[in-house]
Amino acid sequence: MSVELKVPEVGESITEVQIGAWLKQEGQRVEKDENLVEIETDKATVELPAPATGVIAKVLKRNGDTAVVGEVIGYLDEAGADGDQTAAAAAQAQAAETIQRAHRPKEKAKPAETREPPASPAASEPARPQAPAGDAAGQALVLSPEAPRPLARGQDARRGRDAAPVPSSVAPRGGREEEIVPMSPIRRRIAQRLVEAQQTAALLTTFNEVDMSAVIALRNEQKELFQEKYGVKLGFMSFFVKAAIDALKLVPQVNAEIRGNDIVYHNFFDIGIAVGGGKGLVVPVLRDADRMSFAEIELAIADLAHRARENSLTLDELQGGTFTISNGGVYGSLLSTPIVNPPQSGILGLHTIQDRPVVQKGQIVARPMMYVALTYDHRIVDGQGAVTFLKRIKEIVEQPMRMLVEI
């Protein structure tokens, strides 16, 4: 019995997908619920399980092809107790087809039209010095050792000096091949969202720098105990999530969005964390991050980052969010201007930590410094609010004990 393999419902408002890699090929036996093919959407990658035990009979859509929800992309020959026999029969049929193709008479190539190629200047030159050559009057001249040699290419015959060089064809160098691959749905969505943000929002970025000495000292003091108790490393991201929530409470416009002619203020804090996934940058969301402890934040981020690399995030985990934090410092970025993730109104960019000279109490000292950037929608957040937001981030991170007593 032949079973249709159809593109499943993969999320609200998603009607088109891109076929990824087939995990099973034609003629291969599969068990029920075994994953058959990867299906890529603009938000995540899902896998289509086998609806029954059987053999892949036909693949209609290949890697890179697009398909709509509900479209048939292949067929599965359902197999019960005789599943192995069905697989063997399919393999034999494939082998027979291969043999038949090998014994088919090859089509003879049509003879190419022969044409006398034009003689090149080098080919038309006399082979010997004594060979005749025509002058301008059509008379034959005999070249002798004493006779003047023909002018070199590019030399003016009248004045005996170099004239403009004649361009010559240059053989292309090797290793200049191009590879064309279809853009994945996630990459297309990223491109669309970035362009949308630039075209619809009045984006502006303001900067500050943070002395990371206190956070580094606290982290070094507590990291072993923290990891022993919670099974995860104490990173810097949990400090910035906590600091960002405090700053969002102080400047609520950064946690708001514009809907038509209205401003919607969110009284909850769903913080998106930008992470690099297997298919590109994704932004999974920490729901109600203001209710999470340091350990819960670190555990959640570690889990989301791992599943982003494995392309196993769910659509719900990638939707929504009221504010985003992007840490380019993990890649070595010193300074950047992150782009807002619409319809959000702000994004905090973190960067690499470097020892830099700063002045403290009249003395020049080296301190581990980090540049921070806030890109915001100037339609809803004014300059004063943006500067106040970053100053609050700076104050809390430089005095992390304030996070505990909420001052």
Return d(Cα 363, Cα 366) in angstroms, integer: 10
Q: Tokens representing 80?
A: 């019960």
Residues carrying an active site annotation = 378, 382
Do residues 80 and 48 touch, judged by C-beta distance below 8 A? no
Pairing of strands 271-276, 323-327: parallel
Return d(Cα 99, Cα 109) in angstroms, integer: 22
88 by DSSP, 3-state: which? helix
Return d(Cα 150, Cα 302) in angstroms, integer: 78
Return d(Cα 156, Cα 162) in angstroms, integer: 6
Do residues 345 and 385 touch, judged by C-beta distance below 8 A? no
Q: Tokens representing 73?
A: 């992309």
Concatenating the DSSP letter of every residue in 186-211 gives HHHHHHHHHHHHHHHS-EEEEEEEEE
Q: Tokens representing 323?
A: 């504010």
- Dump strand ranges (E) for 44-189: 45-49, 54-59, 66-68, 72-78, 133-134, 140-141
